[in-house]
Amino acid sequence: MSTPAAELHANLAPEESAIASGERLAGAMRGFAREVGALSALRLESCIHCGICAEACHFYIATEDPKYTPILKVEPFKQVFKREASAFAPIYRWLGLKRDVTVAELEEWQHLLYESCNLCGRCSLICPMGIDVAALIEQARRGMFEAGLAPKELYEKAARQKRTGQPEETTEPYREKLLAIGRQFGVSIPLDAPQADVMLTVSRTDIEQYPKAVASLARVMAHLKVPCTFRSDGLIAENYGYYAGSRDWQRDISRRLIDQAIACQAKVLIVPECGHAYSALRWQAAELYGAPLPFKVRHITEYVADALDEGKLELRAADAGATAFHDPCMLVRKAGVMEAPRKIMRALGILPTEMTHHIGFDYCCGGGGGVVDIERAAKLRYRAMENKLREIDDTMARTFLTSCSDCRRTFDDAKRHFDWEKTPQSLLELVADHLQEQIR
Partner 1 sequence: MTVDLVNFARGPALKAAFIIFFIGVVWRLVNVLLLKHTRDLSEPRRGVAASLLGGLKAIGSRSWPHPEFIPRTGAGEALGYSYHIGLFIVILFFAPHVAFFGSFVGLHWPSLPNSVNTIISVITFTLLLAVLFRRVTHRVLRRLSNFDDYFSWFVVTLVIVTGLMATAHVGGPYPTVLGLHILSFDLLLIWFPLGKLMHAFYLFPTRAIDGYLLTRRGAPS
Partner 2 sequence: MPELDSQPTIGALLDRNGVSRRAFMKYCTAMASVLAMPPLAGRAMAEQLRAAHRPSVIYLSFQECTGCLESLTRSFAPSIESLIFNVISLDYDDTLMAAAGHQAEEARDQAMKANYGKYLLVVDGSVPTGEGGVYNCAAGRTALDILTDCARGAAAIVCVGTCSSFGGIPFANPNPTGARPVSDIIGDKPIINVSGCPPIPEVITGTLLQYVTLGRVPELDAHRRPTVFFGNTIHDRCYRRPFYDRGQFAKTFDDEGARSGWCLYELGCKGPTTYNACATVKWNDGVSFPIETGHPCLGCAEPNFWDAGSFYSPIPTPRWGKAGEVRPAEAAELAIGAAAAGAVIGAGSVLLAKHRTQRLQTPGQDSQQDSPKKEV
Binding site for partner 2 (CB under 8 A): 22, 25-26, 29-30, 32-34, 36, 84-90, 93, 96, 99-100, 102, 104-105
Nearer to partner 2, 88 or 418 (CB): 88
Report the nearest approach of partner 1 to the CB of residue 72 (Å).
6
Closest CA to 356 of 379, 338, 330, 383: 338
Choose from partner 1, partner 2, none: what does 287 bind? Cβ within 5-8 Å by kind: partner 1
- With 0-12 CB in 10 A as exposed, 13-18 as middle and 19+ as buried, what is 118? buried
8 A C-beta contact, residue 154 and residue 373: yes
Choose from partner 1, partner 2, none: what does 67 bind? Cβ within 5-8 Å by kind: partner 1
Report the nearest approach of partner 2 to the CB of residue 99 (Å).
4
Amino acid (one-letter) located at 107: E
Query: Which residues, at least 6 apart from 286, have a Cβ–Cβ distance to it below 8 Å?
Result: 292, 293
Choose from partner 1, partner 2, none: what does 218 bind? Cβ within 5-8 Å by kind: none
CA–CA separation, 401 and 203 (whole Å): 17
Nearer to partner 2, 90 or 349 (CB): 90
Nearer to partner 1, 139 or 216 (CB): 139
Report the nearest approach of partner 2 to the CB of residue 81 (Å).
9
| Secondary structure letter of residue 438 according to DSSP | P
8 A C-beta contact, residue 243 and residue 154: yes
Footprint of partner 1 (CB under 8 A): 36-39, 41-43, 45-52, 54-56, 60-61, 64, 66-67, 69, 71-72, 85-88, 124-132, 282-287, 289-293, 296-297, 332-338, 356-361
Choose from partner 2, partner 1, none: what does 22 bind? Cβ within 5-8 Å by kind: partner 2
Pairing of strands 296-299, 268-271: parallel
Nearer to partner 1, 93 or 160 (CB): 93
Nearer to partner 2, 83 or 219 (CB): 83
376 CB-side CA count, 13 A: 17
8 A C-beta contact, residue 371 and residue 115: yes
